[in-house]
Amino acid sequence: MNTARRPGRLAATVLAAALAGTGLTVAVAPAAHAATADVVAKLPFTTYSALAVDSVHQRVFLADAAVGSSSNYGRIAVYTFQGERISTINTNYHVSGLALSADAGTLYVGERFRISAYDTITLALKSVPNAPSDNCGREVVVAGGKPYYTSQYTDYLSQCATATTTVDTIVNGGWQRTGWNDSGKLLLEGGPNDTFVMGQALNASAPDPFLSVFDGSGETPVRNATRRFTDESGAGALNLKDVAVSPDGAKIALADASAGTRLLNTGDLSDAADGYQSLPAGATASSVAFSGDGKYVARGASATGATPDLLVQPADPTDSTAPLEFVFEGSQDGDRVVPRGTEWSADGSRLFTVTTNAAGNQFWLHIIQPPAVQYDVRLGETLTHSPAQAVAGEPLSVRGRLEHDGPAPAEPLKVKATRTDAAGTHDLGTFTVKEDGSYTVLDEPGLVGDATYTVSCLGDLTHRPAADVTHTVSVGKAASSITLTAPAEASMSTGVHITGTFTAQGKALPERATLKVERTDRKGTGTLSSVTVAADGTFTIDDLPRTRKDTTYTVSWPGDDLHEASTASATVDVTR
């Protein structure tokens, strides 16, 4: 059966090490600690074409590609939602493109010379209407009760990237042109209310690839919003790998290998006011899918090493809940998510993801169950800090406590902290919450005055974000000090030699301190030459006194924006 079950897969750190016995790592950015169940099935393919999820009968259909020769057979592997392969449908020619009817009773399959229709319960072949010959692999979508599909005919596979693709449909048991066509691969993705999206893959014959929304409810498809993507030089600015339509039809997400995950308004295909955060550095977008309940979005990627290949997060881009991240790495799980390789069940309880190895000749189906329940998190409003008197340039600890409902998280939660002072807001990073709920934010404030600390808990797929708490600290100047070592007696003829040390706590001075030196004797007070402190904080003063008896030497530093002033005196009995 080639299936492996991994219940209770846990999230780890951003650099997460591979879990024992598997090649899959679940990573956190910055704090996703929810437990998941992950079932993995090794697919019986060396190529991959399409994925379709039947939530009514709880079946998953996957097709190989095997394009390139009219003698190539095709296969469709059929799995349960538990990852068990229950059947394999063999076809006479290569298979590409899968789509389900609205009632999930029929599976439409794109083959080289036809569009086959299978019963999703019995898996029996229902009809096989002919279709224009396709050498490059079809896209299939259902709208208005009938399938729409792409057709590309070429003499050589190398021509598929730029060859003309037509969009066709089935009418009265036979195929019919819709009149829509363009160069290169055309991706089709279904939406609600008999709509579908057509997107053009970047290719040499399409300097400005397009995306269009169609109404497929009538006899022929009607194009609504459309957009072409070009950069400032007029070159293609969309490297499309996958398309997803939100369940309410209001948004369209694109997996763009150049720009990451784009979020568009369906009405006019303009960029949404709020978009998703960038994929982790080194990850290239390959797939995208909204959960059937509209709560989550899954973003697949091609990445290496410990860089996440899959992010599962709230579909609302303004929700700051940290995504749950998966790293696929190794011979048991594949190395990256394939284009068009991510789909959800209708209720959002399962995410189906296809991965491949670096060579692209082995494939795995991952059935992931993100946590369905979220619990409340509370940050206690009482924060404390130490030391009691905060000083610019010296360590400061801000302490608080977090409470959460539900079971303990599988991995410690984290809080995020910022400091706002006269210079703006500064990100201090994340800090781990201990088992007793306590946490400590470490900082080194750099300015004198009020510093306001804001602590956030973003939550994860199990824990909701908590309301922020703030704590204001008055930051004072750091202390400075001067110590002097002077002789008890000295003579006017040999002079006075004094050594000293200057120390400034907190932030290092931008340059060596210059100290003022004054001498007070029977004739009054006068200023001597200033002295510059050496790199090790020492200095010396040499003076020839002008009169006998007690002579006092006073050394002072005026302080600066971050340091208090300091002074020290030494009295010497001067003789002749």
**Residues in Cβ contact with 20 at an 8 Å cutoff, skipping those fewer than 6 apart:** none
pTM of the model: 0.67
Which of 440, 456, 476 is where one domain is finished? 476
Instruction: Please tell me the distance from the alpha carbon of residue 31 to that of residue 14, in angstroms, as a whole number.
Output: 8
pLDDT at residue 373, rounded to an integer: 61
User: Is there a single domain that holds both residue 451 and residue 328?
Assistant: no
User: Is there a single domain that holds both residue 103 and residue 152?
Assistant: yes
User: Is there a single domain that holds both residue 415 and residue 541?
Assistant: no
Instruction: Please tell me the distance from the alpha carbon of residue 97 to that of residue 248, in angstroms, as a whole number.
Output: 24
User: Is there a single domain that holds both residue 529 and residue 463?
Assistant: no
Instruction: Please tell me the distance from the alpha carbon of residue 430 to that of residue 460, in angstroms, as a whole number.
Output: 14
Q: What is the pLDDT of residues 11-31, one digit of tens each?
A: 322 223 222 233 333 333 333
Q: Which residues are bridge partners to 356 per DSSP?
A: 336, 363
User: Is there a single domain that holds both residue 365 and residue 381?
Assistant: no
Structural domain containing residue 569: 480-575
Q: Which residues are bridge partners to 110 per DSSP?
A: 115
CA 32 to chain centre: 11
User: Is there a single domain that holds both residue 397 and residue 448?
Assistant: yes
Question: Quick one: three-class SS letters along 415-479?
Answer: EEEEEEECCEEEEEEEEECCCCCEEEEEECCCCCEEEEEEEEECCCCCECCEEEEEEEEEEECEC
User: Is there a single domain that holds both residue 246 and residue 154?
Assistant: yes
Count of structural domains within the chain: 3
Write out the DSSP string of 473-533.
EEEEPBPEEEEEE--SEEETTT-EEEEEEEEE-SSPPSS--EEEEEEEETTEEEE---EEP
Q: Which domain CATH number covers 498?
A: 2.60.40.10
pLDDT at residue 161, rounded to an integer: 92
pLDDT at residue 372, rounded to an integer: 58
CA 40 to chain centre: 24
Q: Is the peptide bond before 30 cis (omega within 30 degrees of 0)?
A: yes
User: Is there a single domain that holds both residue 220 and residue 329?
Assistant: yes
Residue with tokens 């591979």: 18
User: Is there a single domain that holds both residue 485 and residue 470?
Assistant: no
Instruction: Please tell me the distance from the alpha carbon of residue 425 to that of residue 570, in angstroms, as a whole number.
Output: 46
Radius of gyration (Cα) for the chain, nearest Å? 35
User: Is there a single domain that holds both residue 492 and residue 524?
Assistant: yes
Q: What is the pLDDT of residues 193-240, one digit of tens each?
A: 999 999 999 999 988 899 999 999 999 999 999 999 987 666 668 999
Write out the DSSP string of 40-94.
EEE-S-SS--EEEEETTTTEEEEE---TT-TT--EEEEEEETTS-EEEEEEESS-
User: Is there a single domain that holds both residue 417 and residue 506?
Assistant: no
Which of 369, 386, 402 is where one domain is finished? 369
User: Is there a single domain that holds both residue 210 and residue 283?
Assistant: yes
Which of 438, 454, 476 is where one domain is finished? 476
Q: Which residues of the chain have pLDDT under 70?
A: 1-37, 232-236, 371-374, 410, 460-461
Q: Which domain CATH number covers 298?
A: 2.130.10.10
530 C-beta neighbours (distance < 10 Å), count: 11
